[in-house]
Structure 1
Amino acid sequence: MNATPTPRRRGRFHLRVALLVALGIFAQESVWNFHDAQTPVTLSQYTTSAALIGLIMGLDNIIGIFVQPLIGFMSDRTRSKWGRRTPYIVVGVPIAAALFALIPLAPSFPILIVVIVLFSLTANCFKPITESLIADQQLPEHRSKGNAVAKAASSLTIIIAALLSLFVVDESVELAYLIPAGLMIVCAAILVLALRESRSAGYRAIVAEDHVDGGEKLRLGGILKDLLTDRDRSRLMMVLAVVVVWGTWAGLRAMLTLYGVEQLGLTRGQAGGFTLPAGVAFIVVVIPAAILSDRVGRRLVMRISLVVFAAGTLVAFAFNGSYEATLAGVIIAACGYSGFAVNAVVVLWNLAPSQRMLGTYTGIFAVAQAIGSSAGPAVLGSLVDATGWAYLMLFVAGTAVIGLLLTFGVRRENSASQLAEESYLVEAEEADAGSEAGAGADEDVRTRG
């Protein structure tokens, strides 16, 4: 008789940890959104060149392409009494906050550029660190939910940036920069003090695994070579899908206001309003999409979501003279995009050969995002130049379908080695639960006594 297979032990979803990490991401994204909204105006006080302003504002993406994978890799190799991610947050956040607050105080154009570059460099150093905590502190089966909470928090930062612009900037631009900087420091402090990464089950599991295999050092070149040469192209196809889909969404967002003005005859303000219902739709759908993904599979949800994305833009194309149809199409597309966005980095995390590489894979994901976000608007803009605004939504649908086809090259959702590593984390969680239960029993005995 064959032995009955041992059922895989399932861990629990850590809502408290997910909320703490989301708080940190909310704070850093509040700074980035306000930076994107107001720093161009600060730059315009020194130059009238829109191209130069755009170049300076795009430096953070260029810096991120080089910095984020490197810092993610360095944090993967870090072991300290604070943990492996926390040291970078503790050092980076105060420096980035101080530099951000100095932007409106710069006395000259060269100094302003230096401050902006230093802020972008420092903020890019801890951006992948905070996001990696999502994967560090959740089992693979629960990472979509953890990422969804973070995505929802990140989406809310658009509202924070808008409120600061509406109610604070005209009164004091210096105070408007200082508020998100201070918010980032406070939220990061709460995250670090409440999480206590070095005591977490996730960090202890990594240390335990180091002891088992002798603490073999990771090499960035080896990780990248393995990604590019692996016969199973799942990870590479996922990276390419991120480039295409992120580029498609970035291009749609960049072209949407102009599309409303040129194709639909709307005013600039009316056309700019398309992003609000789309943002609300994203927030409403993202958490249910994550829960569904954890139950039925992330690849299936991503594929269905990209079909929905393409269908929404095809509705807008079919009725490309109608404001109402365009609005409905954009909302449908945003719902579809949310299902892909919440799962893309999670699939990359879960395909990483080891949980000790999660920071590096967060950086790789960031590079794919940056490339897509830079290339997408340019590609779609070129196609519109060649044909006309009436075809924008058709091109968006076409590139979404290309992203869909790439997901069929993702043949699996989890690496076998990482699933094996789960036992360390589950055991650490069970030990924590046992300690808490024991402490509760001791307290009960003392109370009775």
Structure 2
Amino acid sequence: MKFDWKKTFVLGFGFLGISVIWPLFNSLIPPFLEDLGLSALVVGFILTWDNLINMFVQPWVGARSDRTRSRWGRRKPWLMAGAPLAAVFFILVPFVRTNFALIALAILGTNIGMALFRSPTVAYLGDLYPAEQRSKANGVINLMGGVGGAIALFGGGALYKIGVPLPFIVGALLLLIAIGVVLAFVREPAAPQAANEVVAPGVWDSLRDVSRGDNPNGMYILLAIFCWFIAWNAVEAFFTLYVRNVLGIAVGSGTQMLTAFAAMLILFAIPSGLIATRIGRKPTIMIGLIGMTIGLLLALVLTNTLQLLVLLALMGGFWALVNINSLPMVYDVGGNHAIGALTGLYYFASSLAAITGPIVAGGLIDLTSHRAIWPFAAVFMLLALVMMSRIKVSRT
């Protein structure tokens, strides 16, 4: 089957839209919450609300979308419901930032809207591509996500300096445009014939499938995903506070610094898929984890802004090796009969990690200083490397 580059770039708009929102959310909302007088622990807890919701909503939506039947297909109804809801509440955030109850409501609404359509959007990777093309396709899709992240971080930081609400308004509009492209131009394949005869398994059935028997690969990959997302979510949640409180850099400039990370993620997205196709997914991910661990330890001792910027760029390349190939590995373990449920399972592990990371890291910061995010993240990245080393595969 010939790889369809055009179709893949069009599909990537879905991930571009998703990736515009989260960098703005994670970099601009924490200062709002800190300005309300909240501790780092409470800020970290609020930043996990989306993941508390995701733990329950995304797996359910992913499995439910496997069984959805409509004139628009299985996945598109969820995109049509979730994206507008997320956009409206995201726009409200800066306008209510001085009132805790209202900003909490706006954050909650954004989280619910995003949770309704992310799993069905990402499930297209499994719907539209055979196993041997998924790393390459995920590379293209994540390249588009990297473009969205770079637009959000650099453009969002610049817009923030002009007017605080602007990055939220523009980000929401970009989300709607990107999801509109997917709705208009992605042709969903017909539901598998077996789905008319056998009910596709839900997320808990899929979890049992990957954890039982003599093959522990499924649990090891989920534990690895859990560990590396604990690490990166802690860094992402507290980076702007770290640069403001430790390095004396303004929030808008700190947000722009993360553009270096996003830019290298863009550049290495497609090469990461090609590398995995050649040497295998496991060794590719392990190389990325080693690089990330070293980078996190180096960040602890760097105080020069330019040096930190270069380090973030290098880490973006290593993160691409990890991030591009993890979901295809989950599909390899679980098979093709429940792509939506397996996508939900992937996000279950990452959401649980994103709940744990900011809360524990925030508590550690309260006890020590903002510098603690770097060794904290390095430990969990190393644990992810240990989990990956235990996966026994010939070539995935």
Aligned residue for 2:338, secondary structure, equals helix
Larger mean CA deviation between 273-282 and 226-235 belongs to: 273-282
> How does 1:58-97 map onto structure 2 within 5 Å?
58-97=48-87
Q: Which runs of 5+ in 1 are unaligned?
A: 1-10, 198-202, 416-449
Partners of 2:201 and 2:341 within 8 A in 1 = no
User: How much does 1:385 deviate?
Assistant: 8.2
- 1:337 corresponds, among 319, 327, 335, to 319
Aligned residue for 2:21, secondary structure, equals helix
The one-letter code sitting in structure 2 at the alignment partner of 1:188 is I
Q: Deviations along 1:104-127, whole A, 9 cap, x unmatched? A: 566976455334323321221101
Distance 1:55 1:326, change over 3 A: closer
- Cα distance in 1 for partners of 2:205, 2:215 equals 16
- 1:237 corresponds, among 217, 220, 224, to 220
The one-letter code sitting in structure 1 at the alignment partner of 2:11 is V
Distance 1:387 1:358, change over 3 A: same
Partners of 1:76 and 1:356 within 8 A in 2 = no
Tell me what 1:308 maps to.
Answer: 291
Aligned residue for 2:337, secondary structure, equals helix
> How does 1:28-177 map onto structure 2 within 5 Å?
28-39=18-29, 47-50=36-39, 55-104=45-94, 110-161=101-152, 162-167=154-159, 170-171=162-163, 173=165, 176-177=167-168
- Cα distance in 1 for partners of 2:303, 2:95 equals 46
- Cα distance in 1 for partners of 2:297, 2:43 equals 34
> How does 1:401-416 map onto structure 2 within 5 Å?
401-412=382-393
Partners of 1:69 and 1:367 within 8 A in 2 = yes
- Cα distance in 1 for partners of 2:348, 2:366 equals 27
Distance 1:412 1:78, change over 3 A: farther
Tell me what 1:187 maps to.
Answer: 178
- Cα distance in 1 for partners of 2:227, 2:382 equals 10
- 2:264 corresponds, among 272, 278, 281, to 281
User: How much does 1:16 deviate?
Assistant: 1.9
Distance 1:249 1:40, change over 3 A: closer
Larger mean CA deviation between 179-188 and 104-113 belongs to: 104-113
- Cα distance in 1 for partners of 2:171, 2:308 equals 34
Aligned residue for 1:268, secondary structure, equals coil
Distance 1:255 1:92, change over 3 A: closer
User: How much does 1:73 deviate?
Assistant: 0.7
Larger Rg, first or second structure (1 or 2): 1
- Cα distance in 1 for partners of 2:167, 2:304 equals 38
Tell me what 1:362 maps to.
Answer: 343
- Cα distance in 2 for partners of 1:252, 1:115 equals 23
Task: Give TM-score scaled by structure 1 length.
Answer: 0.74
Sequence identity (%)? 23
- Cα distance in 2 for partners of 1:23, 1:237 equals 31
Indicate yes or no: 2:202 matched with 1:210: no
User: How much does 1:67 deviate?
Assistant: 0.7
The one-letter code sitting in structure 1 at the alignment partner of 2:193 is A
Higher relative contact order (CA 8 A, sep 6+): 2
Q: Deviations along 1:391-440, whole A, 9 cap, x unmatched? A: 8756654433321121123223889xxxxxxxxxxxxxxxxxxxxxxxxx
Q: Which runs of 5+ in 2 are unaligned?
A: none
Indicate yes or no: 2:17 matched with 1:27: yes
- 1:221 corresponds, among 201, 204, 225, to 204
Aligned residue for 1:90, secondary structure, equals helix
The one-letter code sitting in structure 2 at the alignment partner of 1:350 is D
Tell me what 1:346 maps to.
Answer: 328
User: How much does 1:191 deviate?
Assistant: 1.1
The one-letter code sitting in structure 2 at the alignment partner of 1:122 is G
Partners of 2:48 and 2:354 within 8 A in 1 = no
